[in-house]
A and B are shown apart, each in its own frame.
Chain A
Amino acid sequence: MYTLTGLKLKNPTILAAGVLGTTGASLCRVAREGGAGAVVTKSIGPAPKTGHSNPSMVRLDCGFLNAMGLPNPSYPGFLQELEFAKNNSSVPVIASIFGGNPAEFAEVAEGLLSANPDAFELNVSCPHAEGYGAAVGSNPCLVEAVTAAVKDVVNVPVWVKLTPNVADIRSIGTAAESGGADAVVAINTLKGMAIDIESGYPVLGNRSGGLSGKAVKPVAVKCVYDLYTALEIPVIGVGGISSWEDAVEMIMAGAAAVQVGSAVYDRVDIFSEIGAGIEAFLERKGYSDIKKIIGLAHEMV
C-alpha cells in the first residue's frame, strides 16, 4: 500500500485524466482489469460541452495528437457516473475539473462533492480549449487563485495539473503550492499539429492540439525534475509513460507517483504491468521502499 496526499493506493500508477474516464463503468474497468492504483475522471466543467469536431485524435509514429475540446456533460450530468465509480471501484477516484475562473472551478468542485470524490485534480493545462485549461494555467496569479478557491470549498486533497507550454513551469508549480495545492501533476500535452499533405488540411478538427505519448517523455521528465527541486508538495509525473522503466525514470526525476494516459491504446492492463515492474525493480536493486528512489537523480550529480 502506498500513500499519496493521504490517499491509499495499491500501487503508484494512476489513470490520467481524459482517458477512459467519461463513464463510471469504464473507470471501474481500468481499476478492476487494468490494475490502476487510482483513477482520474474526464475533466468536468460548469456546462455541457460537445468538444471539437473530429478527427479529435490521431496516432503518429512518435505519439498521439488530440484535440478533444473538453467534451463533458457538466457537473450535474456527471454526478451519476462519479457515484457509480465511487460505489463500484475499490481504488481512489479523483475528479478532474475545469473552469474559466476561480468561481467556476469552485462551483464545479462543490457540485461534485455529493459524490464524494477522493480528491480533485484541477485542469489548468489543456492546450486547445479557448478560455480554459492552459489559458488559466499559464498565469501564475490565476493558478494560485483557482487553487485557493477550490481549497476553500472542499476538504479532500487538491492536485493541480500543469501545462508544459510555459516559459518556466516552476513558477506555475510554486503558484499552485502557494494556493494550497496538495500536489502538482506534470505534464499535460505539448502543443502540436499535423497536416494532411494530400489535401493541405490540418488533420485535427480543431486544427491544432496536444501531443502525448513517447515523444513527450523527455519533456515530462525534465519538468518533473525541475518541479521536484522547486516545490515541497509531491509531484505526480505524467507524459509518455508506457512501461515500468519509463515509470522508474519519472520517479527518479522526482515523481511520487505516475499517471498513464495514451498507453492504454496498447493495453488497458498496462497499470498492473507497470506496478509489478516497479516492485520487481525495487526488489532486484535492494531498495526497501519506492521512497528510496523518488528524486534519486538529484542526488547523483
Chain B
Amino acid sequence: MLPLNATITQITEESPMVRTFFFDPGFEGLEPGQFVMVWIRGVDEIPMGLSRNNSITVQKVGEATSKLFELKEGDSFGLRGPFGKGFTLPVKGEKILVIAGGVGAAPLSPYAEAAFVAGAEVHTILGARSTGDLLFEGRFDALGKVSVSTDDGSKGVKGFVTDILKSLDVAAYDRIAVCGPEIMMSSVFRLLEERHVLEKAEFSLHRYFKCGIGVCGACCIDQSGLRVCKDGPVFTGVQLIGSELGKYSRDASGRRVKI
C-alpha cells in the first residue's frame, strides 16, 4: 500500500505542544488502538495513534512533528494504515478502567467511546503534567467517571495516575486499558502485577518503527520477540511479564537505550 493522500481539514490546538489534525479521507472500521504511518513528505514517516477515525493528535517532539506543525488546513500528508492490533472491546455491562497519561489519551479516547457505545461502564484515570496538558477531558467526561491527576497539583490529585490507581479496587474492573509514557506504564504494570490482575490489562507500547509493517524487526521486544508494529502496539499484561517494558528500548540503529 502506497501512502494515501490525506488532506488536513481542521487543526485544533489541544495544548501549546499538542495539536489534533483532522484529515480526509478518514478510516472506516477502525480498531481503537491501531496506528497509522504519517509521512511528512521529504522529511520522515512516523507512527501515530489515531485519536478518531479521521484525526491524529500529535505532540511536538522532533524534526518530523515540528514540520507537521508547520502544515496548515488544506495542506496534505501521506498516510498508511491503519496498522497493528488495537484494544479488545468490552461487551455490554462490563466495567472498564482507562488509564491515560499525556498524549496516551489519544488512542484511548476512541477506545473509551467505543466501549461506551458497546454498553460498558467507563471509568477514566487521566493524568498530565498540569491542567493545560490534560487531553480530551471533555470526551472522557461524556462517558462516565473521570479521576484526574496532575504532576503540579493544578487539578485533581497532585501526583501520578498510579496515586489514584493505588486507592482503587482494581479487581472490580473487567478490563484495564493503559497508554502513556513508558515510565508511567511500567509503574501501572507493576501495580497491576502485584494485585494479580494483569490478565485483564492491555498496554499500548511505543518503539522505534522502521518498516512499520512487521517485516524488518526493528521494533521487536524482549524476551518474546513480538513485533510492536504488527503483533502490537497493544499487548496484554501477560504478554509483557518479564519483558523490556520500563527498562530499555532500541534506537534506529538497534542499540539498547535505557528508559
Stretch of A109-117, A181-189, A193-201, A287-295 on the interface side? A193-201
Please give, as numbers and ranges, the residues of chain B lying within 8 Å of A42 by CB-CB distance.
217, 254
List the B residue with the shortest CB-CB distance to A264.
B215
Q: Is B46 an interface residue (CB 8 A)?
A: yes
Interface residues of A in 13-47 (CB under 8 A from B): 18-23, 25-30, 42
Q: Is B241 an interface residue (CB 8 A)?
A: no
Interface centre among A18, A20, A48, A78 (most CB of B within 10 A): A20
Knowing A51-B252, A194-B2 are in contact, say whether A201-B220 is a contact too (CB < 8 A).
no
The contact of A54 among B45, B215, B222, B224, by CB within 8 Å, is B45
Interface residues on A, range: 35 or more
Please give, as numbers and ranges, the residues of chain A lying within 8 Å of B3 by CB-CB distance.
55, 58, 196, 203
Cβ contact within 8 Å between A58 and B217: no
Cβ contact within 8 Å between A53 and B44: yes
Q: In the complex, what distance in Å separates the CA atom of A171 from the CA atom of B224?
A: 42
Q: Is A129 an interface residue (CB 8 A)?
A: no
Knowing A23-B254, A26-B227, A196-B41 are in contact, say whether A203-B2 is a contact too (CB < 8 A).
yes
Stretch of B48-56, B155-163, B180-188, B206-214 on the interface side? B206-214
Stretch of A66-74, A155-163, A214-222 on the interface side? A66-74
7 nearest interchain CB pairs? Answer: A29-B225, A57-B211, A20-B217, A54-B45, A26-B225, A26-B220, A50-B252
Q: In the complex, what distance in Å separates the CA atom of A28 from the CA atom of B217?
A: 12
Please give, as numbers and ranges, the residues of chain B lying within 8 Å of A203 by CB-CB distance.
2-3, 39, 78
Q: In the complex, what distance in Å separates the CA atom of A49 from the CA atom of B251?
A: 10
Cβ contact within 8 Å between B216 and A56: yes
Q: Chain A 49-89 against B: per-residue CB contact (8 Å), 1 yes, 0 no?
A: 11101111111100010101001111001100100000000
A70 CB, min distance to chain B CBs, angstroms: 10
Cβ contact within 8 Å between A205 and B253: no
Interface residues on B, range: 35 or more
Please give, as numbers and ranges, the residues of chain B lying within 8 Å of A54 by CB-CB distance.
37, 39, 44-46, 209-210, 212
Interface residues of B in 234-259 (CB under 8 A from A): 250-255
Cβ contact within 8 Å between B214 and A22: no
Cβ contact within 8 Å between B214 and A48: no
Cβ contact within 8 Å between A53 and B217: no
Q: Chain B 1-42 against A: per-residue CB contact (8 Å), 1 yes, 0 no?
A: 111010000000000000000000000000000000101011
Cβ contact within 8 Å between B2 and A71: no
The contact of A205 among B2, B45, B218, by CB within 8 Å, is B45
The contact of B2 among A29, A196, A264, A265, by CB within 8 Å, is A196
The contact of A68 among B210, B222, B223, B227, by CB within 8 Å, is B210
Cβ contact within 8 Å between B41 and A264: no
Q: In the complex, what distance in Å separates the CA atom of A199 from the CA atom of B3?
A: 11
The contact of A262 among B1, B215, B224, by CB within 8 Å, is B215
Please give, as numbers and ranges, the residues of chain A lying within 8 Å of B251 by CB-CB distance.
50
CB-based A-B contact count at 8 angstroms: 137
Cβ contact within 8 Å between A198 and B210: no
Cβ contact within 8 Å between A23 and B217: yes
Majority-rule SS of B interface residues: loop
List the B residue with the shortest CB-CB distance to A64.
B215
Q: Is B150 an interface residue (CB 8 A)?
A: no
List the B residue with the shortest CB-CB distance to A18.
B216
Please give, as numbers and ranges, the residues of chain A lying within 8 Å of B226 by CB-CB distance.
29
Q: In the complex, what distance in Å separates the CA atom of A4 from the CA atom of B150?
A: 61
Please give, as numbers and ranges, the residues of chain B lying within 8 Å of A18 by CB-CB distance.
216
Knowing A50-B251, A77-B253, A201-B42 are in contact, say whether A19-B76 is a contact too (CB < 8 A).
no
What would 10 more interface pairs be, CB under 8 Å, given A57-B210, A58-B3? A22-B217, A22-B254, A28-B225, A29-B226, A50-B252, A56-B211, A64-B215, A72-B254, A199-B41, A265-B214
Q: In the complex, what distance in Å separates the CA atom of A64 from the CA atom of B210?
A: 14
Q: In the complex, what distance in Å separates the CA atom of A19 from the CA atom of B210?
A: 11
Q: In the complex, what distance in Å separates the CA atom of A56 from the CA atom of B78?
A: 14
Interface residues of B in 125-180 (CB under 8 A from A): none
Cβ contact within 8 Å between B254 and A71: yes
Please give, as numbers and ranges, the residues of chain A lying within 8 Å of B218 by CB-CB distance.
22, 71
Please give, as numbers and ranges, the residues of chain A lying within 8 Å of B254 by CB-CB distance.
22-23, 42, 71-73, 77-78, 81
B158 CB, min distance to chain A CBs, angstroms: 39
Cβ contact within 8 Å between B2 and A22: no
Cβ contact within 8 Å between A198 and B215: no
The contact of A59 among B1, B5, B221, B250, by CB within 8 Å, is B1
Please give, as numbers and ranges, the residues of chain A lying within 8 Å of B80 by CB-CB distance.
55, 58
B25 CB, min distance to chain A CBs, angstroms: 13
Knowing A54-B46, A205-B45 are in contact, say whether A264-B224 is a contact too (CB < 8 A).
no
Q: In the complex, what distance in Å separates the CA atom of A203 from the CA atom of B79?
A: 11
Cβ contact within 8 Å between B214 and A71: no
Q: In the complex, what distance in Å separates the CA atom of A201 from the CA atom of B91?
A: 45
Q: In the complex, what distance in Å separates the CA atom of A201 from the CA atom of B254?
A: 28
Q: In the complex, what distance in Å separates the CA atom of A110 from the CA atom of B1?
A: 41
Please give, as numbers and ranges, the residues of chain A lying within 8 Å of B78 by CB-CB distance.
55, 196, 198-199, 203
Interface residues of A in 201-234 (CB under 8 A from B): 201, 203, 205
